Structure 1
Amino acid sequence: MNKTSRPHDDAVVELLREDPSFADEYLAAAMEEADQDGGREALLAALRHVAEAQGMAAVAERAGIPRESLYRALSPTGNPTIKTLLAVLDAAGLKLGVHRAVAA
């Protein structure tokens, strides 16, 4: 692999490490598109990126979830419960928000 290129996931995790406040915007954008094709998987990837930026083991510990379970829940085929989702968000220092959908 060329040393000037790197996988997208690695670049996103690095950005999140450098600017933790970016997680707010990044997850908000992923939530906005969660109901579109591929959106659910993109949301799980965004959550995984945030957890990886903060240290997966540390997030798992703060969330009270075994690390392996966290990896599984946030995998592309994961299906985390609302309890797991809220625990991960809380452990990452984030909260889930709701707003009214704009009428078409």
Structure 2
Amino acid sequence: MVDAFSPFDAADYLSDFDDAAAYLEAVIDEGDDDPARITEALGVVARSGNISELSRRAGISREGLYKALSADGNPSFATVLKLSRALGLRVRFESIE
């Protein structure tokens, strides 16, 4: 008999704002500078909670949120900022040197 495994989904392990912030920070710190990875990470954080509530708080339709965070999505910086605020997070910039 072969054991079946579920695919790993980081969203299953993000239980609060601190976890979400640490996850996003880790993705950014990987340093590959791929905006799609950040979009994907935001999608993971969004899936860890209530998508309908997040879309309401961000002022974005559920469909628009799904589209922006999909594999083919390309959210504007304004959308990223809205999502960050709605998730209880802040976008910050700091010197890398």
Scaled to the shorter chain, the TM-score interval is 0.7 to 0.9
1:62 to 33, 37, 57: 57
Runs of 4+ in 1 over 6 A off after TM superposition: none
Are positions 1:28 and 2:25 aligned together? yes
**1:1-104 equivalence runs, <5 A:** 2=4, 5-9=5-9, 12-17=10-15, 19-32=16-29, 33-35=31-33, 39-102=34-97
The letter of the residue matching 1:8 is: F
The letter of the residue matching 1:31 is: I
Please give the TM-score of this superposition, normalised by the length of structure 1. Answer: 0.81
The unaligned stretches of length 5 or more in structure 2 are none
Q: Is the 8 A contact 2:51 2:62 kept in 1?
A: yes
Provide the identity percentage: 34
Distance 1:87 1:68, change over 3 A: same
Please give the TM-score of this superposition, normalised by the length of structure 2. Answer: 0.86
Q: Is the 8 A contact 2:39 2:69 kept in 1?
A: yes
Asked which structure has the greater RCO (Cα within 8 Å, sep 6+), the reply is 2
Q: CA deviation at 1:31?
A: 2.1
